[in-house]
Chains A and B, each alone.
Chain A
């Protein structure tokens, strides 16, 4: 049906992919097992002829565990091949990590300084992070875009954006 190198065991995968497969499978098995364990506290149903709140999560989690075991088995069986995709490199991952951190910081800051300030700083920082270093254009673009978004949502769509607890 689809070309599935992982399934048949005929094709291989780079070592990094194999390790990732194994790690992800183990993590998901742990999550599924934890989900099954916590269904123990679920109350019995009050309704006549109902299977109760725990049944479906248990089924989904059990199938997930089986699938993860299949993935582990397939991964261990398949041969390791050389990695032909260009490596991302430390700088690349650092960029992604900083981007994620910036988003988290923006979310955290929004609660205190409000939407507008947090977003302007966030956007200017992201542009800087992505290699746009103009000290003039970065803030200008950030302010203009934030203003457009702010007025679209706040005024036109009547979505009240966070003011920030410091200003309230």
Chain B
């Protein structure tokens, strides 16, 4: 078989896959470009398309059913999309895109759970007409007819969209809107009215992709989450809001992925006895590609420069309740701390030690969320890959305890140091870009690290690391955390209890440290960057330097949270999925927003709420994701300033004195400057 034919077959593979990405990215890109909505649920709409198709093909048979599904399923998903826009996204216009992350993250959980509930968790085979799946040889190149169908059909569809965008009046307005929304408004067109249409079309396109890819591979509830990250990368690569960019990016990613997969590890030549081979970059190529493009051309290959600033949207930082006076607040806080300090003793007395384990988990996440709030809540930078510090911290601490010393203090110190250095490097590269680009570039770094721990032996591959015993002490002097057992009257101090007080202490210390930093002049400069970056720059501050510094602080803190995970006596394994998977970056953003961004205490409470709610719900219902997703959606809609503002929201509803309260709110913001 000649190399040329082989290459041609691989190119066809790459283009087939690329065309599905084009469909996904086109919708995602227009939705982002025009509406500024970061739609994480796009992947689930894609999966929903495939599942509707399953239900259509089942009674009709694959011969007719597939074609009916190809038309009907996207229509149905389009209607779902319209509903989502009307009832959940519409109330959020004008707010920072950050809230769409929380909202659509909630939608992901809801749709995914509904899919599992309706169609079951197992992998299913979507029937495709026989004549489409037969292999066919053209000029020595043998691929399936389905490949040609995928390419042909999606190309027609893409051409149709292109005609719609360039030739029709609606398309013209949409394109104008994605280039300069304000200008469209200025000429008297109510662009907001088009949002429903755009979201519906985007959802329908995703569904077409779902049906086509479903027939090519198989249909499973995880198919949505497997495409969403590549789809976002394509959008950013091509340039937000650019249809041309989506087409180019989709094909590029499809081809590059396929080709690196094929030629990874192939030997190039031999140099003095050493074989030089193409490095195995599978899985990381697209991230490297994106980092490269963004550093070279921050607005993407075909993007205009309007996006990414979020200038016309407001960031709703949490507001500490004005319902209670300062004195009451202090008393409440103190009472809460005393409660936390005594909690383990109560649990030990009642014999239910699981709650100590659960609270330990909460402390770790509280520190992690706090670390995110330091950057996100104060400078407005949204790192979508924050879990890289948590993960690297956990790995660093575990490796120290396995290979160097079992002292937990040294393990934590190394975790903090390594992550601070990592944050400095990632920060130096990423801070050049802002907004969604910053979010995506940090995500790319996180994914690179995720893929790296899979590949290396010293990180234990997919299984992760096992086998260490933290020592409470230093230089070999001390006691093993796992063997602590101290009878104390009626109760016995367990390893989990000892860790509880360590984690509790560190959480308090971190909060104290963060508060001091934010109240210092350094914090004031950060706050002013968060409000208007330009003005801060004009005042003579080196904005990048400040951002980088706060990123380092945040990275170190997240590293400590990760280190604590490794030290925790109820952690038995540090694996890539539990630490470095991108979903945790999403979770920590959700915790921060739910708690109340920019308040330091709020995100910590949010973390506790998240961990607790997940635990309680999952023991009552198998559909806990559905419930927790709904909670997020309701939060964004009704309590956008987070848990910490809940008292004032409630007080508001009772007294209906919205006017007074909004003045109080303003005053509070004024003071916090």
A and B physically associate: no
